């Protein structure tokens, strides 16, 4: 290597190959020295070298903010600052080494990422963003080149434009890379932390389709596309899930006031942070499966099935997170046993429900005959029969649920004078906690309770 291009000397480290460079800094791979020029068992790091000569007031402030932020944050999906040093010529940031390159190179090598893989990447980015958002930190330069890979783990890097920004803070300075900048930033309007969400949308779009939504041949063309008011559209023939499509379009909303919020983003079903692979996944799965086994032993089939299904939602990411091949395979075999038992329980519960429906049909027919001289009660029972018929045919849950509610409402009015009113009201309130298919069964149960307890 020519003397003019030799990496700088740094105490306790040997700088080797250059990994990349920008306006203000050059990044090298380096090794920590062990003893006197001994490099056995050496630790690999990345060293960001910033020349003092290139720094103006703004870039110096950015560098100091970057150091301050990285000194205080510790997160599995954020590159760690191990140390920083300086001499008469340079400032050195000693950073965690990520051997897998960056997300941009990974996307190019695959051309496009399967939705499953893109979702796993998104979950890790979202996890890091949630951590930063809770501390009022905005990255402001999110792009695939600034997301590094260490094994299967993604880590946000390059906090050179990052800022402490409360939700109500606004800025106007141009920061980041144009291809990933939110429209309000490119158009030099006031912007806030929501620009990070736009950048996440661009990254997800690029991961799924191999190019950014505003990919252009020149900056002028890029600026024209960004300034346009035309809504973002997915490529024709795009095959993505409904949740993925919904999230993409809500992230890539030009108007920041209409864009998905951070809270909505973290709770979005496609992001699903609750079930992302993590060190906690296996513990959550084991706790749920123990409850499932207990319910199974007690003969509570529906409850056991529900718990087995919940456990499997954590077992799958736990398998993904496990790195030891033997433990991964043992875990996979165990999960297959739980899947088999869940399938058996599903068949048993379906059989139980069929018997329950048959019994309910017979009961309704008897009660309808007994209510011929009570028009209001008769009408309520007939509405209930319609609801049950819809449920048996697999009709839309919400329509069926509305019929159950209408029936129970009429029954409660008809029974307002009875001593059962308080008990019935409590039972109805309790069953309204969740609007899903299980509610229909709860309402039917409440209906049976009402009818069997008022007739002599």
pLDDT in tens, 66-119: 999 999 999 999 999 999 999 989 999 999 999 999 999 999 999 999 999 999
Query: Does residue 167 have a pLDDT over 70?
Result: no
433: confidence class by pLDDT, cuts 50, 70, 90: very low
Say if residues 319 and 339 touch (Cβ distance below 8 Å).
no
Give pLDDT, residue 229: 80
Q: Which of left, alpha, beta for 336 (phi over 0: left; psi -120 to 50: alpha)? A: alpha
Of the ranges 116-130, 144-158, 266-280, 344-358, which one carries the lowest mean pLDDT score?
344-358
Exposed e or buried b per residue across 147-161, where buried means at least 16 C-beta atoms within 10 angstroms of its C-beta: bbbeeeebbbbbbbb
Between CA 322 and CA 315 the distance in angstroms is: 10
The DSSP string of 277-342 is --TTHHHHHHHHHHHHHHHHHTT-HHHHHHHHHHHHHHHHHHHHH---HHHHHHHHHHHHHHHHHH
Q: pTM for the full model? A: 0.71
Q: How far, in whole angstroms, is CA 111 from its chain's centroid?
A: 23
Query: Of the spans 128-132, 313-317, 415-419, 435-439, which averages the highest pLDDT?
Result: 128-132
Query: Of the spans 221-230, 340-349, 390-399, which averages the highest pLDDT?
Result: 340-349
Rounded to the nearest integer, the mean pLDDT of the chain is 82
Give pLDDT, residue 413: 72
Pair of tokens at residue 209: 């389709």
53 half-sphere exposure, CB direction, 13 A CA radius = 2
The structural domains of the chain, ordered by start, are 3-96 (3.30.200.20), 103-271 (1.10.510.10), 277-355 (1.20.58.80), 371-456 (1.20.58.80)
Query: Does residue 191 have a pLDDT over 70?
Result: yes
Query: Does residue 171 have a pLDDT over 70?
Result: no
Query: Does residue 417 have a pLDDT over 50?
Result: no
Query: Which distant-in-sequence residues (6+ apart) come within 8 Å of 278 by Cβ?
Result: 317, 321
Say if residues 415 and 371 touch (Cβ distance below 8 Å).
no
Give pLDDT, residue 456: 38
Say if residues 248 and 240 touch (Cβ distance below 8 Å).
yes
Q: How far, in whole angstroms, is CA 369 from its chain's centroid?
A: 53
Comparing CA positions, the residue from 37, 1, 30 lying closest to residue 16 is 30
The residues facing 156 across adjacent strands are 78, 147
Query: Does residue 283 have a pLDDT over 50?
Result: yes
Give pLDDT, residue 39: 47
Task: Name the 3-class secondary structure at 209.
Answer: helix
Query: Does residue 342 have a pLDDT over 50?
Result: yes
Give pLDDT, residue 10: 87
437: confidence class by pLDDT, cuts 50, 70, 90: very low
Say if residues 322 and 328 touch (Cβ distance below 8 Å).
yes
Query: Of the listed 102, 141, 196, 296, which one is catalytic?
Result: 141
221-226-232-234 Cα dihedral, nearest 10 degrees: 40
Between CA 114 and CA 131 the distance in angstroms is: 26
Say if residues 313 and 275 touch (Cβ distance below 8 Å).
yes
408: confidence class by pLDDT, cuts 50, 70, 90: confident
pLDDT in tens, 219-253: 788 888 888 888 888 988 888 999 999 999 999 99
Give pLDDT, residue 224: 83
Annotation marks residue 141 as catalytic: yes
The DSSP string of 368-424 is HHHTTT-HHHHHHHHHHHHHHHHHHTT--HHHHHHHHHHHHHHHHHHTTTSTTHHHH
Say if residues 443 and 408 touch (Cβ distance below 8 Å).
yes
End-to-end CA distance of the chain, in Å? 99
Q: How far, in whole angstroms, is CA 394 from its chain's centroid?
A: 30
- Average pLDDT of the residues in 19-38: 80
Total Cβ atoms within 10 A of residue 8: 14
Query: Does residue 384 have a pLDDT over 80?
Result: no
Percentage, residues of the chain above pLDDT 70: 79
Query: Of the spans 1-10, 29-38, 98-107, 426-435, which averages the highest pLDDT?
Result: 98-107
Query: Of the spans 92-101, 417-426, 435-444, which averages the highest pLDDT?
Result: 92-101
Total Cβ atoms within 10 A of residue 117: 15
Pair of tokens at residue 328: 């991964």
35: confidence class by pLDDT, cuts 50, 70, 90: low
Residue 48 labeled ligand binder: yes
33: confidence class by pLDDT, cuts 50, 70, 90: confident
Give pLDDT, residue 363: 60
- Average pLDDT of the residues in 7-23: 86
418: confidence class by pLDDT, cuts 50, 70, 90: very low
CA quadruple 188, 192, 193, 194: dihedral sign: negative
Give pLDDT, residue 263: 95
Comparing CA positions, the residue from 398, 355, 402, 396 lying closest to residue 383 is 402
């Amino acid at each position: 290597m020519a003397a003019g291009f030799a990496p700088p000397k740094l105490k306790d480290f040997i700088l080797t190959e250059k990994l990349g460079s920008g306006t203000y800094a050059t990044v090298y791979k380096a090794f920590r020295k062990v003893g006197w020029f001994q490099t056995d068992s050496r630790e690999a790091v990345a060293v960001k070298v910033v020349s003092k000569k290139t720094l103006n007031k703004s870039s110096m402030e950015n560098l100091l903010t970057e150091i301050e932020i990285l000194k205080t944050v510790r997160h599995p999906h954020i590159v760690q600052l191990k140390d920083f040093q300086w001499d008469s010529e340079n400032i050195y940031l000693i950073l965690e080494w990520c051997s897998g390159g960056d997300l941009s190179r990974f996307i190019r090598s695959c051309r496009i990422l399967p939705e499953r893989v893109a979702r796993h990447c998104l979950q890790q980015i979202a996890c890091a963003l949630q951590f930063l958002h809770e501390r009022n930190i905005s990255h402001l330069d999110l792009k695939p080149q600034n997301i590094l890979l260490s094994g299967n783990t993604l880590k946000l890097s390059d906090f050179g434009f990052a800022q402490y920004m409360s939700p109500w803070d606004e800025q106007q300075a141009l920061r980041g890379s144009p291809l990933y900048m939110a429209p309000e930033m490119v158009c030099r309007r006031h912007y806030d932390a929501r620009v990070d969400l736009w950048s996440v949308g661009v990254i997800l779009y690029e991961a799924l389709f191999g190019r950014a939504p505003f990919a252009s041949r020149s900056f002028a063309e890029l600026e024209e596309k960004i300034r346009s008011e035309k809504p973002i559209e997915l490529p024709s023939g795009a095959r993505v899930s409904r949740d993925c499509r919904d999230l993409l379009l809500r992230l890539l909303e030009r108007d920041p006031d209409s864009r998905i919020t951070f809270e909505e983003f973290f709770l979005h079903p496609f992001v699903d942070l609750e079930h992302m692979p993590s060190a906690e996944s296996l513990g959550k799965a084991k706790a749920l499966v123990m409850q499932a086994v207990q319910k199974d032993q007690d003969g509570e089939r529906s409850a056991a099935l529900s718990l087995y299904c919940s456990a499997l939602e954590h077992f799958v990411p736990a398998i993904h997170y496990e790195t030891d091949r033997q433990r991964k395979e043992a875990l996979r075999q165990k999960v297959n046993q739980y899947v088999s038992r869940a399938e058996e329980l599903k068949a048993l519960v379906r059989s139980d429900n069929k018997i329950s429906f048959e019994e309910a049909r017979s009961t309704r027919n008897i009660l309808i005959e007994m209510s011929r001289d009570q028009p209001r009660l008769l009408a309520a029972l007939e509405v209930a029969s319609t609801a049950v018929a819809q449920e048996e045919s697999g009709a839309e849950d919400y329509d069926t649920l509305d019929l159950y509610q209408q029936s129970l409402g009429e029954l409660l009015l008809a029974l307002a004078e009875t001593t059962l009113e308080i008990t019935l009201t409590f039972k109805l309130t309790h069953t309204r906690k969740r609007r899903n298919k299980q509610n229909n069964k709860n309402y039917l149960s409440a209906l049976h309770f009402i009818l069997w307890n008022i007739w002599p």
